Amino acid sequence: MQFSSIIGQESLKQQLIQSVANKRVPHAIMLLGQEGSGHLSLAVAFAQYLNCENRFVDENINNDSTGDSCGECSSCMKSQKLIHPDIHFTYPVVSTKGSKPKSTDFIEEWRKAFFENPYLNIQDWIESLDAENKQGNISVEECHEIIRSLNFKSFESIYKIYIIWMPEFLREAGNVLLKSLEEPAENTIFILVADNQEQILNTILSRVQLLKIPRLKDEEIIFQLEHKQGISVKEAHAITRQVDGNFNEALKLAGNSEDDNEKLYILFLRICLKGSHEGKTLIDFCEKVNTELGRENMKGLLRYGLDLMREVFVLEHIGETKARLTENELKLAQYMNQRLSFKSKEEIIKRLEESCFHLERNANPKILFMNLGIFLSHLLKRNEVVLT
């Protein structure tokens, strides 16, 4: 993977490239960023850059270096397929292949998952292993394996690189690596890629150079969705509003149509208000959501509702949201503003946020949508919202 194929993060890329130009590459770096910021991709691109035989560096007028790996040399070809013998990957794994699983046992699955989506999160990874209910782990054995391999020279490139994805899962096993992180072998570089600083051992944090990866800018996500994923401008804006800089989430929302969410959410509100719509009751609706949607799409539906409520507020207080809403959404937003008090709208937002929170923590979807429906039904009837 080349730097040029990673969305945004220009100053980070430059910082990494500059460290090579100045011959000041830290021996242990932690790329710390929120999910979907591209930190894993940056680690992979940096590893490829370090071992590229024909690195491209462009000194500009401010003496800042920009550049990239060539993408064509034998080292790059291997790096791009994640088969470079000097670039090692460690990631959480599950015990579906024996009681002491190591990362290499899952390397085929890892390559496939990364190529499918280099912005994947830990749940996506574990789900891709058909092990949804299992806990991922980076074992002591894995750490010993790393230590053992440090004794060998690199096979064919200058640098031996260890990319450790999700060091949060090292837990106490991480202590095995402390000495190596502190006094690395020559031309050995550790790149740790983490989401959550608080879940990482302090002893590890104190031994790495921390590079904080900012969230992606909204315009970068919009551009990507529109030009690379073929999503309409309007939909790209709608998706970006919901994801707070998380490109992984944006890709998932792009996969389930906004149109479907709009239709389904309006159906939900109609049923809540009237008890049924076109013969469908709240129980039917919850059954449909539970059997047809899948957890990611359910989250998408709730986020859609949340996003729409925010637009309702914007329309009332700032009044400039029309361009972003479809005709049906605008009609609904105007009705809500006519019929619902400020407090009721706040209550809906709070309830939707709570529902998202519980859904992410594996609440039973049927019960969750039923409870939400009963709450909305009570609130909408109390306020006599008319839905056309």
- Distance between alpha carbon 214 and the CA centroid of its chain, in Å? 13
Phi, psi of 153 (to 5 degrees): -75, 160
* Contact window for Zn ion (CB under 5 A) among 39-47, 71-79, 106-114, 380-388: 71-79
Residues 75 to 114: which contact Zn ion by CB under 5 A?
A: 76
Using CB under 5 A, pick the residue from 69, 121, 261, 355 that binds Zn ion: 69
- Residue 48 one-letter amino acid: Q
Q: 70 or 314, CB closer to Zn ion?
A: 70
Q: 77 or 122, CB closer to Zn ion?
A: 77
* Contact window for Zn ion (CB under 5 A) among 74-82, 165-173, 182-190, 321-329: 74-82
Check residue 271 for interaction with Zn ion (CB under 5 A). no
Q: 73 or 210, CB closer to Zn ion?
A: 73
Q: How far is the CB of 41 from Zn ion (least distance, A)?
A: 17
Q: Are 189 and 160 in contact (CB under 8 A)?
A: yes
The residue among 265, 345, 275 whose CA lies nearest residue 310 is 345
Query: What are the DSSP E strand ranges found in the chain?
Result: 28-33, 56-59, 65-68, 87-90, 160-165, 188-194, 209-213, 276-277, 280-281
Check residue 70 for interaction with Zn ion (CB under 5 A). yes
Q: 80 or 355, CB closer to Zn ion?
A: 80
Q: How many CB atoms lie within 10 A of CB 236?
A: 23
The residue among 235, 257, 265 whose CA lies nearest residue 328 is 265
Q: 73 or 150, CB closer to Zn ion?
A: 73
Query: What radius of gyration, in Å, describes the C-alpha atoms of the chain?
Result: 24
Q: How far is the CB of 171 from Zn ion (least distance, A)?
A: 36
Distance CA(278)–CA(345), nearest Å, equals 26
Number of residues in contact with Zn ion under rule CB under 5 A: 6
Using CB under 5 A, pick the residue from 18, 21, 66, 73 that binds Zn ion: 73
Residues 27 to 66: which contact Zn ion by CB under 5 A?
A: 52, 54
Q: Are 170 and 193 in contact (CB under 8 A)?
A: no
Q: How far is the CB of 69 from Zn ion (least distance, A)?
A: 5
Q: How far is the CB of 115 from Zn ion (least distance, A)?
A: 19
Binding residues vs Zn ion (CB under 5 A): 52, 54, 69-70, 73, 76
